[in-house]
Amino acid sequence: MGFVPIRMDEFIKLHRKSNPGERPDEFIRLLRLSVADARQGARCHCGAPIWAIGSAVVGNACFTCITGEADPSSDYEIDEVLKARGEVKLPSRKVLRMTNQAKPRDRAAGIERESPTRR
């Protein structure tokens, strides 16, 4: 299995929560650079594609070289990097209309659902 896809803004929120003493502006800058490098096909010294999230912290390297682990199935990678590599298909970003069929927790999160009969 591969990485767990996550939007960059969501990962930044998680990182800020887990690292309250760190300067968020510097991390965001480094993450954006490593995402750009990964999308352009940057490779680790071992030849594997870089892990953008880890590379923002330690410099351009792959998941295995950074963590020593082979299986990233419980670790995040920025969704746009995975899409650029053809490893994940991003969901449609179209805005869905609010209907009575949306679940309460969805409405609270600002998620709207279309009726199953609408296409």
Q: What is the pLDDT of residue 23?
A: 86
Q: What is the pLDDT of residue 22?
A: 86
At 34-72, the pLDDT tens digits run 999 999 999 999 999 999 999 999 999 999 999 999 999
> How many Cα atoms sit within 13 Å of 38 on the Cβ side?
31
Residues 6+ apart with CB under 8 A from 99: 112, 113, 114, 115
Strand partners, 77: 5
Q: What is the pLDDT of residue 118?
A: 45
Answer yes or no: pTM beyond 0.85. no
Exposed / middle / buried, residue 3 (Cβ in 10 Å: 0-12, 13-18, 19+): buried
Q: What is the pLDDT of residue 87?
A: 87
User: What tokens were used for 37?
Assistant: 């490098």
Residue 116 has pLDDT above 90, yes or no: no
Which has more confidence, 32 or 73? 32
Q: What is the pLDDT of residue 90?
A: 54
Task: Say how far apart CA 19 and CA 31 lie, in whole Å.
Answer: 14
Across the chain, mean pLDDT equals 82
